[in-house]
């Protein structure tokens, strides 16, 4: 969605997706090496990047919304942790290559023309042996309406992820029904796809 959409959403009072980390990230963070350098693209208001930084990871949070990044910096300051931040459009960002031990992509939904490009850039940004942790809504989410894009083309399926993340070995790939509690825009029963993969 356009930057203006996210700037407006993140301009609302409080943290629209909450300040607590994504539950799947919490479950899988043990896959990341201690003190790993972790990229969090589309980190919004920073809940995931700040949580990772609080556990000793070296975090770069990137988002197209300067408003979101501003709130991420404030959250980091409140929690007493340091995160690096950058305001950038992921479709045109000059992605680092072989620079990160991990990439965390949580509900990072992209149009079909951009999705595979950004996902390939995620793989390229990882060092060999690096880990990607991803959770996203799948098409069945339209039945639940508890968050995510309304355009089915922006929802993800396992076969797409397997293609997009070629060059990685999937450690976990599953379709789930979960109960979301991530602020007012992610609340209730939800259909997601989850991936943990290691770069070859």
Report the DSSP pairing between strands 126-137 and 187-199.
antiparallel
Both structure tokens of 48: 């995931």
Q: How confident is the model at residue 80, as a pLDDT?
A: 98
Q: 199 CB contacts (<8 Å, ≥6 apart)?
A: 123, 126, 127, 128, 129, 130, 131, 132, 167, 168, 169
* Residue 12 DSSP one-character state: S
Tell which phi-psi region holds residue 56, choosing left (phi > 0), alpha (psi between -120 and 50) or beta: left
Does the pLDDT at position 1 exceed 90? no
Does the pLDDT at position 196 exceed 90? yes
The kind and range of the H/E element at 128 are: strand 126-137
**CATH class of this structure's domain 3-199:** alpha beta
Q: How confident is the model at residue 16, as a pLDDT?
A: 83
Average pLDDT over residues 39-62: 98
Does the pLDDT at position 6 exceed 90? no
Q: Which residues of 137-160 are buried (b: 16+ CB within 10 A; e: fewer)?
A: bbebbeeeebbbbeeeebbbeeeb
pLDDT tens-digit map of 52-107: 999 999 999 999 999 999 999 999 999 999 999 999 999 999 999 999 999 999 99
Question: Where are the domains positioned within the chain?
Answer: 3-199
Given a contact cutoff of 8 angstroms between Cβ atoms, the answer to whether 161 and 134 are in contact is: yes
Does the pLDDT at position 142 exceed 60? yes
**Range scoring the smallest mean pLDDT among 42-51, 88-97, 126-135, 177-186:** 177-186
Q: 187 CB contacts (<8 Å, ≥6 apart)?
A: 146, 147, 180, 181
* Strand, helix or coil for residue 39: strand
* Strand, helix or coil for residue 124: helix
Q: What pTM did the predictor assign?
A: 0.95
Report residue 2's pLDDT band, with 50, 70 and 90 as the boundaries.
low
End-to-end CA distance of the chain: 31
The CA-based angle 51-1-134, given to 5 degrees, is 40
């Amino acid at each position: 969605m356009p930057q203006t959409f996210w700037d407006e959403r993140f301009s609302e009072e409080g943290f629209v997706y909450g300040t607590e980390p994504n539950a799947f990230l919490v479950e899988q963070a043990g896959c990341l090496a201690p003190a790993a350098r972790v990229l969090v693209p589309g980190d919004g208001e920073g809940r995931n990047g700040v949580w990772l930084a609080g556990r000793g990871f070296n975090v770069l949070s990137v988002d197209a919304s300067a408003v979101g990044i501003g709130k991420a910096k404030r959250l980091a300051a409140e929690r007493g942790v340091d995160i690096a931040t950058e305001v950038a459009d992921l479709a045109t960002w000059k992605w680092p290559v072989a620079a990160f031990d991990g990439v965390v992509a949580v509900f990072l939904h992209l149009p079909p023309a951009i999705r595979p490009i950004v996902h390939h850039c995620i793989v390229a940004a990882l060092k060999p042996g690096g880990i990607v942790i991803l959770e996203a809504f799948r098409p069945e989410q339209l039945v639940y309406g508890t968050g995510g894009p309304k355009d089915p083309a922006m929802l993800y399926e396992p076969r797409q992820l397997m293609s997009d993340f070629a060059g990685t070995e999937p450690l976990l790939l599953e379709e789930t029904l979960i109960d979301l509690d991530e602020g007012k825009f992610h609340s209730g029963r939800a259909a997601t796809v989850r991936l943990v993969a290691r770069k070859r």
